[in-house]
Amino acid sequence: MSRKFCRAGAVVLTMGLAGCASSPTPNYYSLDLGVVLPPATGSSPSVAVGLAALPDTLDRPQMVSRSAYEVRISDQNRWAEPLRRAIPRVLASEMGSLLNSDQVAAGATLHNPDYRVLLDVQRFDVVTGRGVDIDILWRIEAQGVSRTGRSILQEPVSDGGIAAQVEAQRRGLARVAAEIAQRIKEK
C-alpha cells in the first residue's frame, strides 16, 4: 500500500517539476535609451527629482496595458526596475541635457538643490489600438515657492510590439522633461 502512495507521489512531483521547467522565462524591459546622452557641461541649476507616486495598478513589476474597462497585467513582460524609480531617473537625465546641467539627479543624491521636482503619475498606460497615454502632475519647489504643472500627452506606437510600446513611453517622458525644464528656465 505504501509503495502505491510513493509511486503516486513521485508521479505528481515529476509532473509538477515538468510544469515548472516548461514555464516561459519573463522578458525584462527598461526605459533607458540604448545610447548614453552626452554629458552636460554646466553645473547650474541643481535639480533633485523625487520618486514618482504611482497608481496601484502600475506599481508592480509586470507591464500593464488597457482597453476600455479592461486592465491586462502581463506576467511575461516586466520592468527591469520599479517605475517609481525609473521614471524620475529618465526625467532627470533628459532635464540635465535640456538645462545643460550635470547637477540634475533622481532621488536624494543632491544636497540642498536649487529645485526639487515632485511627481504624481496619474497614467502611464499602453492603450490597445491608441498608443501610450501619459498624465503626470508635477510640482517644482524652489526657495519656498512652489509651482505646479501637469503634462497630459499621447504617443503613438509604431507597431504592436512591446519594444515599440516602451519606446513610445520613453518619448513621452522626454516630452514631460521638456515641459518641466521649460518651467525651471522661466524661474
pLDDT single digits (tens) 65-81:
988 889 999 999 999 99
Residue 182 has pLDDT above 90, yes or no: yes
pLDDT bin (cut points 50, 70, 90) of residue 3 is low
Instruction: Show the cell assigned to 57.
Output: 495598478
* Contact (Cβ atoms closer than 8 angstroms) between residue 149 and residue 185: no
Residue 167 has pLDDT above 80, yes or no: yes
Confidence at residue 160, expressed as pLDDT on a 0 to 100 scale: 73
| Portion of the chain with pLDDT greater than 90, in percent | 68
pTM of structure: 0.83
Instruction: Show the cell assigned to 187.
Output: 524661474
End-to-end alpha carbon distance in the chain: 83
* Contact (Cβ atoms closer than 8 angstroms) between residue 74 and residue 26: no
Of 24-33, 35-44, 89-98, 146-155, the range with the lowest mean pLDDT is 35-44
Instruction: Show the cell assigned to 88.
Output: 524620475
pLDDT bin (cut points 50, 70, 90) of residue 109 is confident
Confidence at residue 62, expressed as pLDDT on a 0 to 100 scale: 95
Domains with residue ranges and CATH for the chain: 28-186 (3.40.50.10610)
pLDDT single digits (tens) 33-44:
765 566 666 668
Confidence at residue 11, expressed as pLDDT on a 0 to 100 scale: 52
* Pairing state between β 47-53 and 115-127: parallel
Average pLDDT over residues 106-119: 89
